[in-house]
Structure 1
């Protein structure tokens, strides 16, 4: 683990949110459960719209260089009711919740992603976030590998490129 558990979880959730347009509240339910979110859920069209509206904001944050990311983090936190505190619940040991559990989900995602980005900016590790190197894909990639080797957002993109490279080599023979 390169970063604190809650930092990695927040970054994974944010990247998935940016890469996935939610069309139903069931999509949000799946994402919410998969990424271990807790707290308030409205399960309505307004919450769905707020999360989809958050996608470009997070995309800008997660694809920014270090200095711009720091500015964006400060701006996001200045406009949010952030009040970091240590909590322990379920199977998780002490970790940071940076906003009240009863705040709207989109606000919690915003603040928790901003807090996670603080760790990346401070460690000069914003390069852990990049765009998929598949020419047909514009998804984000979160690279938490030790040797910084992750280039594709999914195995589908990686396989597509591997097959294309194989076919190119076979054609040259």
Structure 2
């Protein structure tokens, strides 16, 4: 039985925000931030609740994504303390409060929206709460940053054995192909 599927969704949405809204590298290539229209489309596609954001909200969302990225990078570096401190900082900033909600034909479930309102609190509060649940469990090491060369996208490992190291199958295949080619040339 899974009692925290909403928390799983919130953490997956945090991953999506970090991967869409922070520049860096993706699948072996530089990842500059796309245009505002492309960001809005990518967020609508990647965030599971399908919310459409306004261009005026993108800077606030990007700020939340940068704060969340710190958590994933700290865990990938083995620094749980920094990750927990960062989550606590976001929780303090957003002051999420739990309330039961029922919408879109779903049963009652807990939401954690920030006290201050606005898109940063409404996305940062739930994300930090979901990450707090993960960090407060023995599964905190399921958060990670892709280990493929030239990729810094984040992920949550939901595999049975907890051995995921890549953000996507594309990155995994890139690494395997490079290793095969290196062996073939030896």
Report the TM range for the smaller structure's normalisation.
0.7 to 0.9
Specify the alignment match of 1:35 in structure 2: 47
Q: Distance in 2 between matches of 1:66 and 1:102?
A: 28
Question: Quick one: structure 1 residues 91 and 100, their matched pair in 2 at CA, closer, same or farther if it must change by over 3 Å?
Answer: farther
1:126-157: CA deviations, max 9, x gaps? 21111111121111121111101211111221
Q: Distance in 2 between matches of 1:117 and 1:130?
A: 12
Contact 2:19 2:153 in 1 (8 A): yes
Question: SS of the counterpart of 2:111?
Answer: strand
1:56-108: CA deviations, max 9, x gaps? 21101233333323322222222224221121211432322111699322221
Specify the alignment match of 2:121 in structure 1: 107
Mean CA deviation greater in 109-118 or 84-93: 84-93
Contact 1:18 1:140 in 2 (8 A): yes
CA shift for structure 1 position 12: 1.4
Question: Equivalences for 1:74-113 in 2 at 5 Å?
Answer: 74-99=88-113, 103-113=117-127
Q: Distance in 1 between matches of 2:142 and 2:61?
A: 23
Identify which of 168, 181, 185 aligns with 1:154.
168
1:106-128: CA deviations, max 9, x gaps? 22111011110121122132211
Gaps of 5+ in 2: 22-33
Specify the alignment match of 1:120 in structure 2: 134
Contact 2:145 2:155 in 1 (8 A): yes
Mean CA deviation greater in 27-36 or 151-160: 27-36
CA RMSD of aligned residues (A): 2.6
* Matched positions, count: 170
Q: Distance in 1 between matches of 2:46 and 2:114?
A: 20
Question: Quick one: structure 1 residues 87 and 7, their matched pair in 2 at CA, closer, same or farther if it must change by over 3 Å?
Answer: same
Q: Distance in 1 between matches of 2:148 and 2:173?
A: 10
